[in-house]
Amino acid sequence: MFSLKNKTAVITGAGSGIGRAVAELFAQQGALVHIIELNEANAAEAADTILQNGGTAVIHSCDVSNQQAVTNTFKSIGHFSILVNCAGIAHVGKADTTSEEDFERVFNVNVKGTYNCLHAGIPVLKQQANAVILNVASIAAWVGLPDRFAYSMSKGAVFAMTMSVAKDYLEDNIRCNSISPARIHTPFVDGFIAKNYPGNEKEMFEKLSMSQPIGRMGTVKEVAALALYLCSDEAGFITGCDYPIDGGFIKLNN
C-alpha cells in the first residue's frame, strides 16, 4: 500500500522541515522527487539523504514568489503527477503591527508562491491519468491565532485555493486537497524559540508543546505520512478536503 513507484513528485520547500520529510518519505516509497527550494545548501543536503537511502531526487534552486522562475523550473522538470506546495514562511504580528513590507513578503511566498506553482503545474497535471495536488495550509486557516495576522491571511488563502482548484479540475482527474498542521517540531520552531526567548528555551518549548491538547508538538514524519496517504492511489476518492493534523487543537482546545 501507499506505493509511489513510477510516479514523479514536485515538492516545494523540500529543503527543510515538513517539505523535507515529505520528500524523503515519497522517495522511500518509490517516487522520483524534484526538490524546489530557495536554499541550495538545504536542498543539496535533503537530496543527499534521499540518495544515501536508495531514492532518487533532483534539486532546483527557485524562488516560488517569482513566476518566471517557477515557469522555467517546471518546464525543465517536464512530466510529473504529484505536486506538493509546502514552501512557506511565518510572521509574528497583529494587523496594526504588521508592516506593509512584512505583509507583502508573507503574501508573496505563501499565497503567490502557491498560485505560481498551481499556474505552472496544472497544465502538466491535466495531461496525466490521475494527478494529485496537496497544499500545506494551517490551523491558522480555521481558528484565530494571536499575533499571526499575515500568516493566518496567507493560509486562509491556501485553504480557499485548494477548494477552488478541486472543483475546477474534477473533469481533468486532478485531485486537490490540503493539510492543516498545528505546531510541528521543526528547525524553524527551535530557531524561533532561541531568537525570541534566549535563556528560556526549554520552558518555552514545553509551553508551546502543551498548547496542543494532546500534550506535545507533532513531528514532521507524522505530517509526511498524512501527505503520503493523500497523494497515493489509496486516497483516490478524496478531493476538495482539508485535513487538520493538530493534536486536537481545533476541536478540543476550548
Is residue 187 over pLDDT 90? Answer: no
- Which sequence positions are flagged as catalytic? 151
pLDDT computed for residue 211 by the predictor: 87
* Residues whose CB falls within 8 Å of the CB of residue 98, separated by 6 or more in sequence, listed in order: 91, 149, 150
pLDDT single digits (tens) 18-58: 999 999 999 999 999 999 999 999 999 999 999 999 999 99
Query: Sorting pLDDT into bands at 50, 70 and 90, what band is 189?
Result: confident
CA-CA distance, 53 to 48, in Å (whole number)? Answer: 9
pLDDT computed for residue 195 by the predictor: 83
**Domain residue ranges in the chain:** 8-183+219-247
pLDDT computed for residue 197 by the predictor: 86
Burial of 243 (0-12, 13-18, 19+ CB in 10 A): middle
- The label of the residue with cell 494571536 reads 146
Cα–Cα–Cα angle for 217, 211, 178, nearest 5°? Answer: 60
CA distance readout (Å), 146 to 95, 143, 150: 11, 10, 11
Is residue 254 over pLDDT 70? Answer: no
Is residue 10 over pLDDT 80? Answer: yes
pLDDT computed for residue 188 by the predictor: 81
* In contact, 173 and 122? CB cutoff 8 Å: no
Give the three-state DSSP class for 209: helix
pLDDT single digits (tens) 145-177: 999 999 999 999 999 999 999 999 999 999 999
CATH architecture of 8-183+219-247: 3-Layer(aba) Sandwich (3.40)
Grid coordinates given for 61: 534552486
pLDDT single digits (tens) 97-132: 999 999 999 999 999 999 999 999 999 999 999 999
- The label of the residue with cell 482527474 reads 173
Strands 131-136 and 174-181 turn out to be parallel
pLDDT single digits (tens) 228-246: 999 999 999 999 999 999 9
- The label of the residue with cell 499571526 reads 148
Is residue 74 over pLDDT 80? Answer: yes
* Residues whose CB falls within 8 Å of the CB of residue 240, separated by 6 or more in sequence, listed in order: 162, 163, 166, 167, 176, 177
* In contact, 122 and 132? CB cutoff 8 Å: no
Cα–Cα–Cα angle for 186, 138, 252, nearest 5°? Answer: 95
Rg (CA), the chain: 17
Query: Sorting pLDDT into bands at 50, 70 and 90, what band is 192?
Result: confident
Average pLDDT of the chain is: 96
